Amino acid sequence: MARLRTLTVVTVAVLALALAGCAESTSGGNTGGSSGGNGNDNGPIKIGAVLDITGAGASLGVPERKTLEMLAQQVNDSGGIDGRRIELLIEDNQSTEDGAAKAASKLVQTEKVNILLGASRTGPSLAMRPIAEQAKIPMISLAANEKIVTGSEWVFKTAQNDRVVIEKIVDDMTAKGYKKIGLARDASGFGEGVAETFTELGKDAGIQIVATEKFAPDASDFTAQMVNLRSANPDAVVIWGIPPAASLAQVAYRKVGPKVPVYQSHGIGNQVFLDTAGDSADGLIAPLVRMVVADQLPENDPQKQTVTTFINDYKSAYNENPSTFAGHAYDGFMIAVNALKEVGTDPNKLRDAIENVSDWPGVSGVFTMTPQDHSGLTKEALVLVTVEKGNWKLLEGQAG
């Protein structure tokens, strides 16, 4: 009897906890009112955004939400688009794929948005892609992986391809003569395909991955990964993730990892990383956008103006520095707004206008979209940055 009873209690408890886990992906946030339809040419223009506001992607989604809210306010204050107000609808996908799909469907089918922004990370963006394509409305993802846009007619993105980030790292490794690379990567969509791309791009320079370790985006202990990398005796290590996981990995790397140089990805371009990684971040190398080192940029840099204005606006609105993810949101939103200003809300014209963006200086880089490239950025958008005493520092000979 006691045995049976414990069994029942334990089973029910586990089911309840499992349900609690699932329940976390059901509710959703919503800002902005709801009114009007979209066939109407005088009503507000609806921009829908699906962001990773809670969960593992929160350090990306929160600044992105702040950016979108700030920019929508700015555009509306200066008279909107051709006299029409922007109505911004933001949904939280709770960093899950199904949450993103649900939120995107809601925005497209119920709210009938004119254009879709999001999501913050690759996995959720991939989940939104078929929804935008089916509805035939343009979507601009704020995430990095090139799978999001490959072969898509309707989907664009503003974060640089992982490929160009890896090109940048491989260039530096080639110059320094590192051959054997140990990789610790995010086990979710963000880290997928990284090892393969490194192998492909590094082939000519003789660079090869000698060990690949994975970590969950919400992992808390990285000892095992770092110990395994140490055993592989690499020339350099690449940690590919976003904070807090990337910060914890960086700390563990300094404690138990191999004593070799470490590269981080573009996933760490925010203050949260610096705060949580602390001293252990000193000396790492990361290919980041110019925004994190805006004050160190030369005056003739084409992005200097945009980046400085954005940082100042963001600082005065929220009293903190914008992250690179805020920059991706800026680029996505402004590309959408510029296209809407140019051609109005017709989905086909809107799509063409976005595809024709050329030499537009955004926060993350100078964008040139083409029918083949829906990402618009090359490795020139990135500069190699290090960390010195808790601050980003531009490495010599990177800007200009």
Partner 1 sequence: MTDLLQLVFSGLAQGAVYGLVALGFVAIFSVREIVNLAQGEYAALAGLSAISAVAAGIPLLAAVLLVVPMVVVVAVVLERLCIAPVKRMTPLVSIILTLGISTALKAIMLLIWGPQGRGLPPFPGKDLLVGGVSIRSQELWILGIAAIVGFAVVRAYEHTLLGKAMRACAEQPIAARLVGISPRTATMIAFGVAGFVGAVAGVIGSPVYFSSWDYGLALGLKGFVAATLGGLVSLRVAMAGGLVLGVLENLVAGYVDTGYRDAVAFLVLLLVLLVRPQGLVLRAPAVRV
Using CB under 8 A, which of 48, 55, 124, 362 touches partner 1? Answer: 55
State the nearest-atom distance from the C-beta of 172 to partner 1, in Å.
27
CB 327 within 8 A of CB 112: no
- Cα distance between residue 268 and residue 245, in whole Å: 10
Q: Does position 225 bind partner 1 by CB under 8 A?
A: yes
Q: What one-letter code names the amino acid at 293?
A: V
Q: Does position 227 bind partner 1 by CB under 8 A?
A: yes
Using CB under 8 A, which of 59, 114, 120, 280 touches partner 1? Answer: 59
State the nearest-atom distance from the C-beta of 76 to partner 1, in Å.
26
State the nearest-atom distance from the C-beta of 93 to partner 1, in Å.
12
Using CB under 8 A, which of 173, 219, 237, 288 touches partner 1? Answer: 219
Q: Does position 250 bind partner 1 by CB under 8 A?
A: no
Using CB under 8 A, which of 45, 58, 211, 242 touches partner 1? Answer: 58
- Cα distance between residue 120 and residue 67, in whole Å: 13
Residue 156 token pair: 């664009």
DSSP state for residue 160 in the 8-state scheme: P
b/e 158-171 (16+ beta carbons within 10 angstroms → b): bbbbbbbbbbbbbe
- Cα distance between residue 265 and residue 90, in whole Å: 27
The SS3 of residue 244 is coil
Site for partner 1 in 257-286 (CB under 8 A): 272, 275-276
Site string for partner 1, 165-204 (x = CB under 8 A): ----------------------x-----------------
State the nearest-atom distance from the C-beta of 212 to partner 1, in Å.
10
Residue carrying structure tokens 């497209």: 108
Q: What one-letter code names the amino acid at 89?
A: L
- Cα distance between residue 298 and residue 304, in whole Å: 8
State the nearest-atom distance from the C-beta of 396 to partner 1, in Å.
32
Q: Does position 242 bind partner 1 by CB under 8 A?
A: no
State the nearest-atom distance from the C-beta of 14 to partner 1, in Å.
7
State the nearest-atom distance from the C-beta of 273 to partner 1, in Å.
11
Q: DSSP states of 314-327 as a string?
A: HHHHHSS---HHHH
> C-alpha distances in angstroms, 150 versus 137, 155, 200?
17, 9, 18
Instruction: Choose one: 119-127, 151-159, 215-223, 314-322; the region binding partner 1 (CB under 8 A).
Output: 215-223
Residue carrying structure tokens 């929804």: 131
CB 278 within 8 A of CB 252: no
Instruction: Choose one: 1-9, 141-149, 195-203, 340-348; the region binding partner 1 (CB under 8 A).
Output: 1-9
Q: Which residues pair with 262 in a beta bridge?
A: 237
Residue 397 token pair: 């000979």
Using CB under 8 A, which of 154, 215, 263, 330 touches partner 1? Answer: 215
Site string for partner 1, 9-38 (x = CB under 8 A): xxxxxx-xx-xxx-xx--------------
Binding site for partner 1 (CB under 8 A): 1-14, 16-17, 19-21, 23-24, 53-55, 58-59, 61-62, 187, 213-216, 218-221, 223-225, 227-228, 230-231, 244, 248, 255-256, 272, 275-276
